[in-house]
Structure 1
Amino acid sequence: MAETAVARIGGPSRRAPVADRIILAVFALGAVAVTGLAVALAPAPVILNLPLVAHASGLLAGYAVTVLIVLMARVPVLERTIGADRMARWHARIGKVTIVAILVHAVAATLGWAEAQMLSIAASTDQVLMMPGLVAATISTILFLVIGATSARAARRRMPYETWHALHTLTYVAIALAFAHELAGPDLAGHPLIQVAWSCCTQ
């Protein structure tokens, strides 16, 4: 009886790291696949330049947002194998990576357009904002930055939970706006099968 009790206590703790590694490996494979998609859609010959960095970071940001949703969706299988506390920690860490990917995407896209068109950064920014879906993407970026800033531990301590939660629900608005940009962007526009597949995987 005692051995059974010990097994029940010790079993999950021994299995948890294995489950963690498996799930993290799945997430990592997804990131590799998304990066591969960016490379596959790049014009030949493939060169590591600002446009490729912009495309890859944009797709990775969209994928990372999907991972964030999965982590906080209270999926029973994940809660049993990983635990709600660990999932929340992963959510916080991947959230920071997502913000970085969004900013890298925005900066690389603007600088890449300036380089390609031989424009100043100000003129490039103005032209980029006029492209399809970019107004939505800009609003989405601002919302993600606000959500990220208010989710920092120091900021959360200073505001009521209700206020933080209300701001955090803006994530869904930011995701919807970003999704509109993704479908209209150069990575997916003109590729209906990829658009459908991306929609199924990220929604």
Structure 2
Amino acid sequence: MTATAAPGTARTAAHRRPRAAPRWWKDAGGAAAGLSLLIVTALWVYNGGVRQIGDGGSTAITAVARLAGLWASDLLLLQVLLMARIPMVERAFGQDKLARWHRWTGFTSFWLMLLHIVTVTIGYAAGTTNVFVQLWDLIWTYPGMLLAAAGTLLLLLVVVTSIRAARSRLRYESWHLLHLYAYLGVGLALPHQIWTGTDFAGNALARGYWWTLYAVSAGAVIAYRLALPAWRNWRHRLVVSKIVPEGPGLTSVYLSGQRLGELPVRAGQFFHWRFLDGAGWTRSNPFSLSATPQPDMLRITVKNQGDGSARIATLKPGTRVLIEGPFGKLTGESYAGGPVVLMACGIGITPLLSLLGELPYRSGEATLIYRARSEADLAFGAELEWFAAQRGVRVVHLAGHRAGRASWLPASLAGQADADVLRQVAPQIAASHVYICGPEEWAGLARAAAVEAGVKPARVHTELFAW
């Protein structure tokens, strides 16, 4: 921080900000996903699926197995596309929403896969052999089934570790590493339909559809998870410029590089970061920008919550940095002025700080509500004072442990209604754009309070600190 400006408030006009995604992108993405399932179902019908259901018996069971397997395969590939980090898709939906859809699609495809395995085994075994003997025979003798069995086990590992109770017991770094096995699982589970699938091997239309979907999925991963990050890192060559302690367990990293003004990033977004400082550099961690991006500087602020984040405080100036991104929809793309309320909890203050430097509010129009467990956990005091003095931001600190009920408020205010307190600290709340960032449960409660206080749901923008 300088005497005249807070980080990220100067020279913002020189930085290239990406335009807002056209609204039709969302409709096109949803329609494409729905159309893919309709095509799969139509190909199954064309291949005799409905007629075989009518035949009854083992033929009907096998037909159900085929449809479940086709839906599972289609959803598995849609999963890959959801998290392939395609810029058009990321800008339209945001990674928060994509991650939720990815999770729901993953669980749905896994249960459909199990249904496929059970029904195809029962259908093949009907009246002839024990189902367990039949399952072993399918795995051991049918082309591609050993690979499919291995892929199914890997996907089971990913599904189990994605359940909320299991995720809460894993470090982010461990969970992320295990989750990468999903790609291998998909790669192993799908090829058996090429060799033995009735709806693939005997139908030219089906072969054309599936090969196209395979190629698009694989191409998206290669282009956007490998090639694009490699090109950006080569072009921008980020390095650590300086390290600044911000408070207990809180560290800011200032980064410099080449042509940073060309990065298509906005305040409020985040990158996945890898610091080339020794062992562990291969594991990425998502950190939001904590200052408005500048042509010659980026800043992130990290809380010590695990192995990856604990290393941040020990980084040395000159350390090379690899990035993947930007991601996130917590941006000012839909804000053109007027009242704005920013609600932060804990480390959720970081993207909101960057937004304070970019949003075009006038003096007196912006209110920042900063929630923390204690006064000692409140950071960026001097910087927030600058925003209050120079840009007329009203800063409201709410420190203290959680209320005894489900509330975004501290215990000291637990006797008041959530929405009433919000109206008190931000009188213009109903007419405001509201930006919320913090832990998942807290953010959900803050959003509910904002809507109850009169904010239109479309004007509530959230970023959840969850994985």
TM range (shorter): 0.7 to 0.9
Structure 1 residue aligned with 2:128? 118
- Normalised to the residue count of structure 2, the TM-score between the two structures is 0.38
Letter in 1 for 2:201: A
Identity value in percent? 31
| Match for residue 148 of structure 1 among 140, 156, 159 | 159
CA–CA distance in structure 1, aligned partners of residues 106 and 179 of structure 2: 12
CA deviations on 1:24-81 (whole Å, 9 max, x unpaired) are 3321221111012122223783325211111111111111011111111111111122
Structure 2 residue aligned with 1:3? none
Letter in 2 for 1:39: V
Structure 2 residue aligned with 1:27? 33
Gaps of 5+ in 1: 1-11
Q: 1:34 to 1:125 in 2, by over 3 A?
A: same
CA–CA distance in structure 1, aligned partners of residues 203 and 35 of structure 2: 23
Larger Rg: 2
Q: 1:193 to 1:40 in 2, by over 3 A?
A: closer
| Match for residue 199 of structure 1 among 196, 202, 211 | 211
Q: How does 1:84-103 map to 2 (within 5 A)?
A: 84-103=95-114
Q: Report whether the alignment pairs 1:189 with 2:172.
A: no
- Normalised to the residue count of structure 1, the TM-score between the two structures is 0.83
Structure 1 residue aligned with 2:52? 46
CA–CA distance in structure 1, aligned partners of residues 177 and 192 of structure 2: 24
Q: 1:155 to 1:44 in 2, by over 3 A?
A: closer
Contact 1:63 1:202 survives alignment (8 Å): no
Contact 1:113 1:128 survives alignment (8 Å): no
**Higher percent of residues as helix:** 1
CA–CA distance in structure 1, aligned partners of residues 61 and 177 of structure 2: 36
Contact 2:49 2:63 survives alignment (8 Å): no
**Post-superposition shift, 1:152?**
1.3
Q: 1:153 to 1:189 in 2, by over 3 A?
A: same
Contact 1:68 1:95 survives alignment (8 Å): yes
Gaps of 5+ in 2: 1-19, 55-59, 216-467
Structure 1 residue aligned with 2:91? 80
Contact 2:43 2:206 survives alignment (8 Å): no
CA–CA distance in structure 1, aligned partners of residues 160 and 117 of structure 2: 18
**Higher percent of residues as strand:** 2
Q: 1:158 to 1:41 in 2, by over 3 A?
A: same
Contact 1:50 1:109 survives alignment (8 Å): yes
**Corresponding pairs, count:** 189
Q: 1:43 to 1:74 in 2, by over 3 A?
A: closer
Aligned to 1:45, what secondary structure does the other structure show? helix
CA–CA distance in structure 2, aligned partners of residues 182 and 132 of structure 1: 9
| Match for residue 63 of structure 1 among 64, 74, 87 | 74
CA–CA distance in structure 2, aligned partners of residues 80 and 42 of structure 1: 40
RMSD: 2.3
CA–CA distance in structure 2, aligned partners of residues 148 and 43 of structure 1: 29
CA–CA distance in structure 2, aligned partners of residues 26 and 193 of structure 1: 18
**Post-superposition shift, 1:147?**
0.4
